[in-house]
Structure 1
Amino acid sequence: MAILRVNIGPEGAEIHGRGRPAGSALARAARQSSGPIIVMVHGWNFEPGHSRHCPHRHIFGLGDTGVTSWPEGLGFDASAQSTGLCVAIGWHARCGLREAYCRAGEAGRMLASVIASLRLGSGGRPVHAIGHSLGVRVILAALPWLDAGDMGRIVALAGAEWRKTALEALATPAGRQAELINVTWRANAAFDLIFARALRHARPKTTQGLGRVDVGPDTGMGAGIAGGLGWAQNRVDLHLDAPGLQALLAARGMGLTLRRRALCHWAGYANPGAMALHREILRHPEEWPLSLLATRSPSPKMPGLGLLHPA
């Protein structure tokens, strides 16, 4: 089975639609698989089992769902020929933004248990992850509960998290050995501002555990987390609007179409070519080093990109 569907919540991790604990199934699926193990985490407003907003029938679905399929975009399907293991994670995110932000932090601990179970059967393979919006917060919140080497690469699409909080997660034992690709784009700037305004109360007050890392002002991930060079240690800012990225993709026989929209929170996975890029970054990390991504996607001049300082 190339795809395993799991829901996480206060009760723990359960197999979607069956209500039974997922731990043994996760370890077994990892043991029986070969190739990369990739965990997918959705963002705000989804609810597992909901008639209209279930992520497993929406972005995590297969076939003609009317939306971009994350599993298919990452190279997974229901056939035995799919290499690797895809784990679709659902969490209870259909609520107010403030409550969803809190739930995402709590879901991180449950996600850590999922990743720990996968590692039991992984044969030493790290677990990679991709998340959108508050799903990025879930992934980062799992890092303090994991051991060094548990997490491989993280593709963060329009991450709805404060920069300091993200860097604190990357300063943990698991975080220091992970690699974070912070994916941003111009049309998400307004959503960064909404996040900042709505979650002023959650701005981190300290930088404990960061050592000498210069975290800069209280901004969100959309403003960048890798410093002026766009690449630092184990993290990189990947700007989809950067002309250099288009040139790199063209040289590798790939493409990325950014639709002309002033506002779009979903371009990081919905636009043609986006999921193919993430697939290559996660499946073939040796061919896409962070240094390469940084040099081909320097921060473009985008007024309003990233979180503005909320009053």
Structure 2
Amino acid sequence: MPVIRVSARNGIPGPAGGPQSLSRALDAALSDPSVGAGPVTVMVHGFKYAPGCERHCPHETIFSLTPRFRDVDRRIVSWPRHLGFGRPGPDRGLAISFGWPARGSIWNAYDNADRAGDALARLLAELRERCPHTPLHAVGHSLGARVVLDALTKSAPGALDWALLLAPAEFSAPAHAAVESPAGRTAKVLAVTSRENDVFDLMMELFVSALRRGDSMLGHRGLRASNALTMQIDHAPTLAALRAAGHRLGAPEGRVCHWSPYLRPGAFPLYRAIIEGRLSFSRLRAILPEDTDPRWARILPRFATAQTAPG
């Protein structure tokens, strides 16, 4: 049982498509010998996905070991398989497909992410109660990263070991508040950003109201704290540093892409090294450069160069 499906309904997590209780589903999954002492990883999708919604159901597409519709949409790749789940043998760990209603307007989805955060916080509490010493991680893309950050603000210390935020669709102020929350301070947080995502960040800033006037998306300046790092995956010095450490990420193929943090060749093997404990936070901090490219460096390189030129 390498992958189980959980859906958020009105702020409450439950097994997807079945009458079984969440407690029973978790107990059955965690007792499977193939799970054993391996890590538990909750995968959280972003905008336009929703459980039970034809081609947009995360349980049937990106969070399935055998995704449907992958022949018609290159963005549909199996997260759990690429993260190392589904392989034979004991102690392989458990992947959890976490689905929530993220269709409709961007305003609806952004608000729904807050209620999904309630459900994720409850799920993390259930998991931590059952496996207090098991590595417990969350990987969220886009608005899924907002769900993960929101869950941190509503969780007890120790709820998560790693939070991997891929092209996070969240404003900087609430993101930093989540990292400074009791659960946030005990987690390790990695914001995976890219200048390929600048257009999508701008659209969020234009159409979604920030709680703090003038706040920008997390991808603008990244996330820095004693327990948080930013990894800009289209930053040439970052790619070179990772390559020198044995982690080869492919070069960016275009100027605009919202999905490159998981479609880029080499990205999943890097995340797998993190969740399997082969790449520590301290090692990653030592590898990653402190600087990043300025906003619009990929789309308008001359403008970005002028911004950073000495006065």
Give the TM-score, by structure 2 length.
0.85
Question: Do the aligned residues in 2 keep the contact of 1:182 with 1:224 (CA within 8 Å)?
Answer: no
Partner Cα separation in structure 1 for residue 202 and residue 267 of structure 2: 23
Corresponding position of 1:160: 169
1:250 has 2:247 as partner: no
Partner Cα separation in structure 2 for residue 64 and residue 171 of structure 1: 36
- Unmatched tracts of structure 2, length 5 or more: 71-75, 299-311
Partner Cα separation in structure 2 for residue 188 and residue 19 of structure 1: 40
CA displacement, residues 125-175 of structure 1 (integer Å, 9 cap, x when unaligned)? 242110000001111111122111111111101111110001111121101
| Deviating more after overlay: 73-82 vs 143-152 | 73-82
Question: Do the aligned residues in 1 keep the contact of 2:157 with 2:186 (CA within 8 Å)?
Answer: yes
Corresponding position of 2:49: 46
**Would the alpha carbon gap of residues 302 and 102 (structure 1) be closer, same or farther in structure 2, given more than 3 Å must change?**
closer
Partner Cα separation in structure 1 for residue 23 and residue 11 of structure 2: 13
Question: Do the aligned residues in 2 keep the contact of 1:144 with 1:172 (CA within 8 Å)?
Answer: yes
Question: Do the aligned residues in 1 keep the contact of 2:242 with 2:288 (CA within 8 Å)?
Answer: no
CA displacement, residues 230-259 of structure 1 (integer Å, 9 cap, x when unaligned)? x43111110101223323333344421234
Question: Do the aligned residues in 1 keep the contact of 2:262 with 2:268 (CA within 8 Å)?
Answer: yes
1:235 has 2:228 as partner: yes
**Would the alpha carbon gap of residues 294 and 259 (structure 1) be closer, same or farther in structure 2, given more than 3 Å must change?**
closer
Partner Cα separation in structure 1 for residue 212 and residue 11 of structure 2: 31
* Offset of residue 44 of structure 1: 0.5
CA-based RMSD of the aligned residues comes to 2.3
* Offset of residue 194 of structure 1: 0.6
Question: Do the aligned residues in 2 keep the contact of 1:30 with 1:85 (CA within 8 Å)?
Answer: yes
Partner Cα separation in structure 2 for residue 54 and residue 41 of structure 1: 12
* Offset of residue 93 of structure 1: 0.7
1:60-79 paired onto structure 2 within 5 Å? 60-63=63-66, 65=68, 66=70, 67-77=76-86, 79=88
Q: Secondary structure, in 3 states, of the residue corresponding to 1:151?
A: coil
* Offset of residue 94 of structure 1: 1.1
Question: Do the aligned residues in 2 keep the contact of 1:268 with 1:274 (CA within 8 Å)?
Answer: yes
| Deviating more after overlay: 253-262 vs 268-277 | 253-262
Partner Cα separation in structure 1 for residue 67 and residue 167 of structure 2: 25
Question: Do the aligned residues in 2 keep the contact of 1:181 with 1:238 (CA within 8 Å)?
Answer: yes
Counterpart selection for 1:35 from 38, 43, 58: 38
Corresponding position of 1:14: 14
Higher relative contact order (CA 8 A, sep 6+): 1
AA aligned opposite 1:251: A
Corresponding position of 1:271: 264
**Would the alpha carbon gap of residues 281 and 298 (structure 1) be closer, same or farther in structure 2, given more than 3 Å must change?**
farther
Q: Percent identity?
A: 34
Give the TM-score, by structure 1 length.
0.85
Q: Secondary structure, in 3 states, of the residue corresponding to 2:161?
A: strand
AA aligned opposite 2:227: N
Question: Do the aligned residues in 1 keep the contact of 2:189 with 2:228 (CA within 8 Å)?
Answer: yes
